[in-house]
Amino acid sequence: MTPTETLAVVAHAAGDLRVDTVPVPQPAADEALVEVAYGGICGSDLHYWQHGAAGESILKAPMLLGHEVVGTVVRQAADGSGPAAGTLVAVHPATPGPGDGSRYPTERPNLSPGCSYLGSAARYPHTEGAFARFVALPGRMLRPLPAGLGLREAALAEPAAVAWHAVSRAGSVTGKRVLVIGAGPIGSLIIAVAKRAGAAEIIATDMHDQPRERAERLGATGTLAATDAEAIQAVQADVVFESSGSPRGLASAFRGAARGGRVVMVGLLPAGEQPALISLAISRELELVGSFRFNDEIDEVLAALADGSLSVDPVVTHEFAAADAIEAFGVARDSAVSGKVLLRFAEPSER
């Protein structure tokens, strides 16, 4: 029997995060009812909580957070689409759309101007997220887990797909020297994906000791303090991934790149104009490449997690019951002590 109410993690305004009880949604014909097992707290979730905005997406009404979720299909979509009841699934949280009709490469739907994402205030009414024990999701969003891959092991599939997309934007990293600026959850996952892709050297920077230690466990061959500008400049990497989302991190990426190198910009800088060492990019003929979300890379990630070729376990540092979400968000905010923080919506004995 499905309950009529469900626990949910809702951002009401800047500084106002609540664990609410809300009605279990009634799925549309193309939606399945999913029992969420785990949800990962993303930087955007933290921004909505702390600032009431993520970049230019402004919170205008209470919004259910969360887009990094895995769970079990409780009821298949009425129209027969998507996985059957009982299927373990990861969630692809994007819905591409034409938006205002601006041009974009159709083979890259992540760039479609009307693309929406679970738990996003980019549009109003907002796109509700999936930090609830029971959620209704379109069948097309659901990706069945490969045989042998459990929900806990698949909990990082969505952010790992962001990292996989970033590494693909770099071109081949096989045999190359890679520099990763910022060893938070996305930077850590980039290290794991780059290692799998055959990078010869991976150097990671971060402000704090614990992220640098995790970077080494994930495959970094060396780490540097983010403040050590001289050492970063001496790296001369073939490929640099900027995953700190800060102007100083972007400056370090430019300085740490070899002449003719490629800089993949993954971390989302604050909205508006930002300072950048463009003259250095010109004189060194650096290739600057943006990387935004992902397309279908989540399918490759799930396969790599299942066959063991992608190892991401050290990225998760904390796990909390969803009822303790406010405490969990506080821990996730402190990058000195936490990597990826998971919320557990259903106890194993209840599944």
Task: Average pLDDT across each block of 10 residues of the chain; the chain has 351 residues. List them in order.
Answer: 93 98 97 98 96 92 98 97 97 96 96 96 96 98 97 98 98 98 98 98 98 98 98 98 96 98 94 91 98 97 98 97 98 97 84 59
pTM for this model (two decimals)? 0.96
CB 48 within 8 A of CB 65: yes
Q: Residue 284 carries which DSSP code?
A: T
Residue 349: predicted pLDDT: 57
Which 3 state secondary structure label does DSSP give 151?
coil
What is the identity of the amino acid at 261?
G
CATH superfamily membership of 163-290: NAD(P)-binding Rossmann-like Domain (3.40.50.720)
In the numeric block, the tokens 């800089």 are attached to 263
Residue 269: predicted pLDDT: 87
The structural domains of the chain, with segments of one domain joined by +, span 5-156+312-350, 163-290
E strands in the chain: 5-13, 16-23, 31-40, 53-54, 57-58, 63-64, 68-75, 88-91, 94-95, 116-117, 134-138, 142-144, 177-181, 201-206, 222-225, 237-242, 257-265, 287-290, 316-321, 340-344
Classify domain 5-156+312-350 at the CATH class level: alpha beta
CA 181 to chain centre: 16
Which 3 state secondary structure label does DSSP give 159?
helix
